[in-house]
Amino acid sequence: MSVPLSHVLIVASLMFAMGLGCVIAWRANVIMMLIGIEIMLNAVMLTFVGGSAHWGIADGQLFSLMLMALTSAEVSLALAMVVYLHRRKQTVNTDEFDSMKG
Amino acid sequence: MEATLFYILAAVLLIGILLAITARQAVRSIVYLVTSFFALALMFYLLGAPLIAAFEVIIYAGAIMVLFLFVIMMLELESPEKLAKPHFKNWLPALLLAGAVVGALVVLLCSRLQAVPPGFTEIPVRQFAFALFKQYGVAVEVVSMQLLFALVGALYLGRRR
């Protein structure tokens, strides 16, 4: 394929910027924050795979596989925690979980 | 031909994500995200990573997003999952930071002339598997332990009292 690496990086960074915006704009909702984190991790995976294809080494693809394993562990824990918090306060609004006054 | 396909997929991906982060209901957001992850999987395939493309479809679109969907439907959020839309004052810092990222990218791209675009090399699955199990065997073990800990943690958090 004859797409320059910079175009792949442009797509990945636009994706990352949108995920960052999602996390910050929806900071009152736990589920949308998790979705933003997913988008950012996928942007990083696109960067890894693009670099791996550019230099012809398998390491980038390997690390995107590791990133997938990390994400599945993170999502299972985070969603279990969302269920737990929702059982306690009947909401997913982060402003309600201020018992530590952070 | 492949380059055209790449740009079409990039457009689908970015529009899907834009719709996902501005959706009013979390379920719609998940469905948009699944669409854009399918486009991303095809982009991975075009970049010469067929294994990662398959995993993207199986793990991300098939498992993680469906897990999100299950949890959203399980929680019984108030009147059909309508989320309180963030105000403009919430969008402002988000737009500021995203704009900073995009601005840094523009500065970086304008600062130097682009060289002749080199083609991408496809990495065969044999090379990938060789590197994974010969070079990074320890990392595979660590990942398996990490998944075990995640399983135990999820069981602990989700238990009934």
Q: Are B81 and B129 in the same domain?
A: no
Burial of A14 (0-12, 13-18, 19+ CB in 10 A): buried
Rg for chain B, CA atoms, rounded: 20
**Domain shared by B140 and B81, yes or no:** no
> B123, A57: Cβ pair inside 8 Å?
yes
pLDDT at position A86: 86
Domain assignment present for B104: no
Nearest CA distance, A59 vs chain B (angstrom)? 7
How many structural domains does chain B have? 2
pLDDT of res. A12: 93
Query: For residues A48 and A89, which has the higher predicted lDDT (pLDDT)?
Result: A48
Domain contains B105: no
Is B47 part of any domain? yes
Question: Could you tell me if B6 and B53 lie in one domain?
Answer: yes
Contacts of A96 in chain B (CB under 8 A): none
What phi and psi, each to the nearest 5 degrees, are found at residue A93? -75, 125
Ramachandran region, residue B68 (left: φ > 0; alpha: ψ -120 to 50; beta: rest): alpha
CA–CA gap between residue B146 and residue B150 (Å, rounded): 6
Look at residue B61 and tell me if it is in a domain.
yes
Domain of residue B76, residue span:
2-86
Q: Is the pLDDT of residue B2 over 90?
A: no
Residues B60 and B10 in one domain: yes
The whole-model pTM stands at 0.89
Per-residue pLDDT of B51-78, as tens digits, reads 999 999 999 999 999 999 998 888 877 6
How far apart are the CA of A99 and the nearest CA of chain B, in angstroms?
19
Residue B32 lies in a domain: yes
Q: Which two tokens stand for residue A68?
A: 């997938």
Contact flag A13-B20 (C-beta cutoff 8 Å)? no
Q: Are residues B78 and B140 in the same domain?
A: no
d(CA A17, CA A39): 9
Same domain for B18 and B81, yes or no, is: yes
What is d(CA B154, CA B150) in angstroms, rounded to the nearest whole number? 6
Distance from CA of A16 to the nearest CA of B (A): 8
Whether B8 and B82 share a structural domain:
yes
pLDDT tens digits, A26-66: 888 888 999 999 999 999 999 999 999 988 888 999 999 99
ipTM value for the complex: 0.90
Cβ–Cβ contact B118 with A under 8 A: yes
